[in-house]
Amino acid sequence: MRNPRTRWTVGAVALLSLSLSACGGSGFDDSGSDDSQESTGPASIKVLIASSGDAETKAVKDASDAWATKSGNKATVTQAQDISQQLGQGFAANNPPDVFYVDAKFFATYASTGSLEAYGDSFPGKDDFYPALRQAFTYDGKLYCVPKDFSTLGLQINTAAWAKAGLTDADIPTTWEQLAAVAKKLTTSKQVGLTIGDTRDRIGAFMVQAGGWVTNKDATKVTADSPENLKALEYVRSLLADGSTKYPKQLDSGWSGEAFGKQKAAMTIEGNWIAGAMKNDYPDVKYRTVPLPSGPAGKGTLAFTQCWGIAAKSKNKAAALDFVKAMTEKDAELSFAKTLGVMPSRQSAEAEYVAQFPQDKAFIDGAAYAQAPVNVAKIDQVLLDFDTGLQGLPNADPKQILARLQKNAQAVVGQ
């Protein structure tokens, strides 16, 4: 398991781009009659989800059934085998599902092809959703869809290893320098101090902490080759070079949560999804989560989120919108959080969430300073190439990695 939060494969990303580009400018075959004409009377909508498992599928189906009973409509929820492929086929055939999950990483590609209904700006209570999450689903100045939930990154600490090294609460790292120091102190012949994932989905947090990112806030300018990003990659390279930090593959693990669970690392940087993995696979390992240390520019973490997308060509937009309203009510989001381990996307749910899950306070606090995924259409392959460069650290040259990212990303943004 490489990253439990990533449900899209590399092959699916490529297929997504091909499927959408084949649809033309609007993402649909515009011949024939206006298939988007709104249906009248009780509606029957199709909902496609990229489920993490049976628990999520059941939770969505139960909530859908409750909505159907109340509204008089019907919702058929399907668990996708490959959501990018199935959505691509639906768009190309002019027969997409009415409502579907949209991952922030791929949102801009869908929005750029006209596949999504831009309903967000008129959504009731839209300002209750965290600003960073709204930004993740904004394209060309329009809020297309509202976030259904989110996750952020925190620092996990093995409490037994921490105590054995003679460390106390006073030693919890709040700066890069302190993180490097405790990582060294926790490193033994059997355990490294820290393990981190070898992609932008983890290392990118250091870029944010340094005051950098791949693009500016509205994703109109590439800012990859900056002094801030260089400082971040140089710092990560120093951690890897001194042996106190290793990538999961160096610890015979598929992802950093596995290395942490096997106690091959005393600390890791993961999202709140790690709780389920630790409970199921490593129940005897005691740990705590604290906020990520601040960098030269201050606090920084990454946000991972999905929205409830509505098809631009749906014949049941009114019912689809009513469905999304029901799924994103505060009580519904808190119910999903309890069942699935995600965090509510509504700010009004934060206090109740923290009261129920105090151990996750560091994660939800991160919403105030989190950076969402790169919001640029058809940039997927560029970012995968960036990941390849990061995987070459500490031997690779950070300057060259960032220069390559700058050049490749500019080519996409300039299209």
Residue pair 109/17 in contact by the 8 Å Cβ criterion: yes
User: Of how many residues is the chain composed?
Assistant: 415
Q: What is the pLDDT of residue 387?
A: 98
- Residue 39 in tokens: 């249906």
Helix H or strand E segment including 104: helix 104-112
Classify 302 as helix, strand or coil: strand
Query: What CATH number matches the domain at 11-150+305-371, 3.40.50.150, 3.40.50.620, 3.40.190.10, 3.10.310.30?
Result: 3.40.190.10
DSSP structural state of residue 243: T
Residue pair 398/230 in contact by the 8 Å Cβ criterion: yes
Residue spans per domain, the chain:
11-150+305-371, 152-302+376-413
- Residue 27 in tokens: 């993402």
Residue of 155, 115, 119 lying closest to 138 (CA atoms): 119
For residue 394, whether the previous peptide bond is cis, meaning omega lies within 30 degrees of 0, is yes
Tens-digit pLDDT profile for the chain (415 aa)? 444 444 333 344 444 443 444 343 333 333 333 444 555 568 999 999 998 889 999 999 999 999 999 999 999 999 999 999 999 999 999 999 999 999 999 899 999 999 999 999 999 999 999 999 999 999 999 999 999 999 999 999 999 999 999 999 999 999 999 999 999 999 999 999 999 999 999 999 999 999 999 999 989 999 999 999 999 999 999 999 999 999 999 999 999 999 999 999 999 999 999 998 999 999 999 999 999 999 999 999 999 999 999 999 999 999 999 999 999 999 999 999 998 889 999 999 999 999 999 999 999 999 999 999 999 999 999 999 999 999 999 999 999 999 999 999 999 997 6
Helix H or strand E segment including 245: strand 245-246
- Residue 284 in tokens: 């005897």
Contacts of 341 (CB under 8 A, 6+ apart): 272, 273, 275, 276
Q: Are strands 287-290 and 192-195 parallel, antiparallel or unpaired?
A: unpaired
Please tell me the distance from the alpha carbon of residue 27 to that of residue 14, in angstroms, as a whole number.
16
Residue of 332, 348, 342, 340 lying closest to 66 (CA atoms): 332
Rounded to two decimals, the pTM is 0.88
- Tell the CATH superfamily of the 152-302+376-413 domain: Periplasmic binding protein-like II (3.40.190.10)
Please tell me the distance from the alpha carbon of residue 186 to that of residue 46, in angstroms, as a whole number.
51
Using H for helix, E for strand and C for coil, what is the string for 10-73? HHHHHHHHHHHHCCCCCCCCCCCCCCCCCCCCCCEEEEEECCCCHHHHHHHHHHHHHHHHHHCC
Residue pair 226/399 in contact by the 8 Å Cβ criterion: no
Domain 11-150+305-371 shares a fold with domain 152-302+376-413: yes
203 vs 2, 241, 275, 378, CA distance in Å?
A: 15, 15, 21, 21
- Cα angle at 78 between 277 and 143, to 5 degrees? 85
